[in-house]
Chains A and B, each alone.
Chain A
Amino acid sequence: MRGQWAKRMVISLGILLLLAVPAAADTKPYRVGIVLPGDQWVSGIEGLKEGMRDLGYVEGRDVEYVLVNARGDKRKVEEATRGFVEDRVDLIFTITNTALKIVAGVAKPSGTPVVFGSASGPVESGVVPSYATPGTQVTGVTSGSIELVPKRLEILREVLPHVKRVALIGEREADSSIAAFRLAQEAAAKLGLRLVEFRVGSNDEAVAVARRLTRREADAVFLIPSLHTVAVTGEIAAAAKAARLPFAVYQVEHVRQHGALLSYGSSYYLQGKQAASLVDKIRRGVPPAQLPIERPRLHQLILNLETAREIGVSFSAEVLNRADELIGSRSQR
């Protein structure tokens, strides 16, 4: 009898252990490898973390972030992605279309899900086949920056009617930049603008181009979304300001942080926050291929009145009324 009792106890303990093992596995934090292209996109990571917190994730307990900052270096983006794949992270998060294309290519054989917090044109650049049905391991939130290039040019012209020549600074080889240049050309023809294109291959080249620009070559500078241009937005803004050239960008942060004149679009922060829900769904088992790519909930027109004053431009009352946010409005008004 005693032997039987002991046997039953051992079997019961075994069952309890078997039950406890999956429970323990479930409590392991979800590991998210973050490939940060550069310091310019840090607010996107903050948005992601905030979104995850809103969804009830506690960092360290439920989710673990492993971040690698490539600082604008595409090779580092690739190395970081490879490291995450070898390290078997549960998901890779990245920002920008250029980084996304690298990350998606490296991670594809492993099947590791990839979520992007902001990519200018994942469909236009061919990373995913369509917005509604991505059909791959990649999903995320698009900034729509490529699609919005014509609209931004239109707004630039409407906000600054004197602008006729626009200097475009974009990347030479990035698919997103190439698509954006093409759309800009089409829009310029409709809008009666003349484009001065600068296709660069590095950050330094982008800064050098910006520093050479004067009002003789262009009436305004327009940033084409790409890794090398966004990474040096601050330097380009400073150069444009020095040349008293209006500088139009496409993300809220570029106006707030770097002193660009205007932007029309969303913010990395909000897009990162929006992407958190996609990370959450993948964490709960939904295949990324079934998660349509989302667009930002909000696009805003932001005008920097301080920069306007510095470079000697002014906005009409109608334009000021149209703006969703005016930076430095108190001093202007």
Chain B
Amino acid sequence: MLRRKTLRSRLFWALASALAVLVVIVSIVWRLTVEPALRQAVAAHHQEVAGRAADQIQEFMDHQIAELTAATELGRLWRERPGSQKEILYRLLKLAPTVQEVRLADAGGRVVSRLARHRVYTGADLGASVEADPGFRRAVAGEVYVGDVFHGATAEPMVRVGVPIKFTATDIRGVLLAEINLKTLWDPIADLTVGRGGSAFVVDRVGRLIAHRDYSRVLLGVSLADHPAFRLARAGARDNGRVIEGGRRPSDGAGVISAFAIVPRTGWVVIIEEPEATALAGVSRVKRIATALIFVALVGSFGLSYWFSARIARPIRQLQEGAARISRGDLRHRLEITASHEIEALAREFNEMAEQLRLSREGLERKVAEKTRDLSALYALVTPLSPTGHLEETLDAALAKITEMTGADGGLIRISGPDRAEVLETSHPPSLKGALKEAAGAGRAPVGRPAAPHGRRQERRRRDPGQPPGDRVRAPPAGVLRGHLPADRDGRGERPPVHGDAASA
């Protein structure tokens, strides 16, 4: 996990937030522009279907009216004898299967002929007045009348139509009133393809179903007056073809996209309705893909942020760790950073700095080592060598160490008093005491071992500090050693200074 407040975490969250905001903006743009456009496209298609259906119904009604008008013109019904009138009405019933019943009324509104497919009318049924019938009144005035839809005993939807019987444009001799069964509309409406799960239906001017794929609903006299599309159609009067989005189907509350179109002649409303689930199936598919892409983009943006922050923070972290290691003394540590930017240059500088530090430290250490050796020799020389504290034993031990340190074959220490009287004399090894004394007295090196200059011997020792004692080296010339003896063990008090000569060979 990313720890908070590290450079990497800050980088990561900054980048991730920026990308997430970008993704959110894209989503909002999709939601506000693309998706409504797709929904509108679906609704526009429904509107087109509704418009076509309305045109078909208009044509159907025009055809019915044309059939009735043609019947009025066939032999000028009114002039014909009653028998012929009936034959013409029979012919009309045969040619127009939707016409269930026809009445022929004179200009005064008296029924002179009547014929039906299912009912029997005889002369006793004639003579009734239809003067008060709105269909008659409109038709006798020269207009074509289309009445309200009504449902007969068998619940099938019917409409009453009245056409004038005209001899001339102004000479109206009667009216033909017909009842038209609208069952014929069921099949074309049922056959309308509305997406994958949609349906089309037709309602009359008060919202009662006229045609529906499930014609049982028509026979049941279902009213859709509360349907939002119908209400909008009524409110918009003749404003044809509005699209309703986000509506709810009254029957089950399902979300639907609806469109409607009004049949001009009748005022009936064709409503196309499709559940959003199927209407927007394509949109939903695109939305799912978009959601998946957005999710991938989000994950990708987080991953990218993680990688990029790691890429930036890693060399810095390496720098930090390198500095920590160097601070712990690991001057040989080097950074391997190939970032091709400022961090890489910084790493190079860092490595250079570390190298300089290392060289400096090694030089210092070397010097310290040399000094330490010298000091160690000195220290060894002055360290109390005899646990008893006797001067002779101490000198013996010192002489032995000097001999050992210098690689000489032996050495002699002679201490004289103020009168040059010999106070103490000791040699190492004791067996060479005579030879050493002789050499000290003569001021020359022992026979067979020529004396080497001091500087050369030092040089040789520096070159080969690990050379074991006993090697054949030239003895240094006899000299005088002056100084103080080291402090005693507990560090208190000093021994009295002594004067003497030290000779070594």
Contact = CB atoms under 8 A, between A and B. Distances in A.
B211 to A, nearest CB: 14
B122 A191 contact: yes
Nearest to B123: A190
Interface string A175-202: 0000000000001001100000000000
A47 B31 CA distance: 53
A291 interface: yes
A132 B221 contact: yes
B170 interface: no
A132 B122 contact: no
Interface stretch (A11-19, A146-154, A217-225): A146-154
A191 B154 contact: no
Contact of A321 (B91, B120, B156): B91
A154 B120 contact: yes
B118 A147 contact: yes
B90 A187 contact: no
Nearest to B218: A292
A290 B120 contact: no
B360 interface: no
A295 interface: yes
B155 A131 contact: yes
A190 B118 contact: no
Interface string A103-136: 0000000000000000000000000000111000
A291 B155 CA distance: 12
A235 interface: no
A297 B183 contact: yes
Interface residues of A, number: 28
A132 B155 contact: yes
A286 B124 CA distance: 45
A298 B119 contact: no
A86 interface: no
A277 to B, nearest CB: 9
B490 to A, nearest CB: 73
A204 interface: no
A131 B154 contact: yes
Contact of A290 (B116, B122, B220, B221): B220
B119 A190 contact: no
A190 B117 contact: no
Contacts of B153: 131
B216 A292 contact: yes
Given A291-B216, A294-B219, A151 B120 contact: yes
13 contacts: A132-B219, A132-B220, A144-B118, A151-B118, A151-B119, A190-B120, A191-B120, A191-B122, A281-B214, A292-B216, A293-B154, A297-B183, A299-B117
Given A191-B122, A281-B214, 15 more contacts: A131-B153, A131-B154, A132-B155, A132-B221, A150-B119, A151-B119, A151-B120, A190-B120, A290-B220, A291-B216, A292-B219, A295-B154, A295-B156, A299-B118, A322-B91
Interface of B: 87, 90-91, 94, 97, 116-120, 122, 124, 151, 153-156, 183, 214-216, 219-221
List the 5 closest pairs (A to B, CB-CB), nearest first.
A292-B219, A132-B155, A150-B120, A154-B120, A190-B122
